[in-house]
């Protein structure tokens, strides 16, 4: 990340240095003090400027409630509790979270998109770029997560791929349409030359990864797609399939809200890395990074 000095930042945002210091004192502009000098991250200054431009003149946008919607995640839920941000969670799946974000019902949405696009572009970035209602979107990294097949201890049916699941006629717990894990299942089935109609599905769908893990643990299903952390927490075996990006999606004006800044400040700390290692199946390297800004 590129940092600007006080004089460089003043020129960059076209403000006098005195006005810039007033903003620094009030905490209204992104900056940090290093060895007695104020430094300003260029990328966050861009967002700060755009956050003001994204709102039509004379219009005061209502602040969304302090809720993070979208996908359920053990590391995220722990982070919301420990960060002191005051943010609550509403876990309904990636697509529902994005819908609520666009309607102003949540301040951010936790997302993990999947598609069969072979262009090589990151699925989360591609999905956000294509959203017409989020011209001022910011995508902040939380972690990379390992997704795979959850199976009972010992993997009694010897399920090592979705091809095995279909061939064995195994009962599979699935997620609701719009959930990131269900998008992933659709993509993996397509790659295996199969579809949802080829599966023996447990009904009704499970609303979260932990719900899916509980169904397998209780013997109501033979397998399902979820994270390694969900498998570990439930005492299930795990067959790894892939790693994915797990990000927080928000609007530019929300990025600078105190609650979001408290959350982002926390996820860059060592404690998150330690918790990620304890839960298993996380790579916290992207934590706090701005991975996309419209």
Q: What is the pLDDT of residues 138-183, one digit of tens each?
A: 999 999 999 999 999 999 999 999 999 999 999 999 999 999 999 9
- Arithmetic mean of pLDDT over the chain: 90
Q: What is the pLDDT of residues 86-145, one digit of tens each?
A: 999 999 999 999 999 999 999 999 999 998 876 667 999 999 999 887 888 999 999 999
Only one residue has tokens 């000098």, namely: 37
pLDDT of residue 52: 62
Only one residue has tokens 């447990």, namely: 202
Only one residue has tokens 């974000």, namely: 101
Domain ranges for the chain, please list them. 3-53, 67-143+244-293, 147-243
Topology given in CATH for the domain delimited by 67-143+244-293: D-Maltodextrin-Binding Protein; domain 2 (3.40.190)
pLDDT of residue 284: 96
Q: How far apart are CA 186 and CA 233, in angstroms?
A: 25
Asked whether this chain's domains 67-143+244-293 and 147-243 adopt the same fold, the reply is yes
Topology given in CATH for the domain delimited by 147-243: D-Maltodextrin-Binding Protein; domain 2 (3.40.190)
Nearest residue to 30 via CA among 52, 61, 54, 60? 52
Q: Please state the φ and ψ torsions of residue 110, each to the nearest 5 degrees.
A: -85, 125
Q: Quick one: pLDDT band at residue 51, thresholds 50, 70, 90? A: low
- Long-range contacts from 104-107, C-beta under 8 angstroms, 24+ separation: 104/62, 104/64, 105/64, 105/65, 105/67, 105/69, 106/64, 106/65, 106/67, 106/68, 106/69, 106/70, 107/63, 107/64, 107/65, 107/66, 107/67, 107/68, 107/250, 107/254, 107/257, 107/259, 107/260
């Amino acid at each position: 990340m590129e940092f600007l000095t006080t004089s460089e930042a003043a020129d960059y945002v076209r403000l006098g240095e005195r006005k810039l210091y007033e903003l620094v004192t009030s905490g209204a502009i992104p900056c940090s003090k290093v060895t007695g000098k104020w430094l300003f991250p260029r990328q966050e200054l861009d967002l700060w400027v755009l956050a003001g431009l994204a709102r039509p003149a004379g219009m005061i946008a209502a602040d969304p409630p302090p809720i993070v919607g979208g996908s359920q995640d053990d590391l995220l839920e722990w982070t919301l509790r420990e960060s002191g941000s005051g943010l609550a969670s509403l876990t309904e799946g990636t697509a529902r979270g994005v819908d609520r974000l666009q309607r102003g019902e949540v301040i951010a949405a936790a997302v993990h998109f999947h598609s069969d696009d072979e262009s090589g572009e990151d699925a989360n970035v591609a999905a956000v770029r294509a959203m017409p209602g989020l011209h001022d979107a910011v995508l902040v990294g939380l972690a990379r997560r390992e997704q795979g097949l959850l199976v009972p201890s010992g993997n009694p049916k010897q399920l090592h791929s979705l091809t095995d699941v279909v061939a064995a006629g195994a009962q599979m717990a699935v997620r609701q349409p719009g959930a990131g894990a269900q998008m992933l299942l659709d993509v993996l089935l397509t790659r295996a030359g199969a579809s949802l109609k080829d599966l023996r599905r447990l009904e009704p769908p499970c609303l979260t990864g932990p719900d899916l893990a509980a169904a397998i643990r209780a013997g109501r299903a033979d397998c399902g797609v979820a994270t390694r952390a969900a498998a570990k927490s439930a005492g299930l075996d795990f067959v790894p399939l892939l790693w994915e990006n797990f990000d927080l999606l928000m609007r530019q004006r929300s990025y600078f809200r105190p609650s979001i800044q408290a959350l982002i400040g926390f996820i860059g700390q060592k404690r998150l890395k330690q918790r990620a290692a304890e839960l298993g199946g996380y790579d916290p390297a992207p934590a706090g990074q701005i991975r996309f800004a419209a």
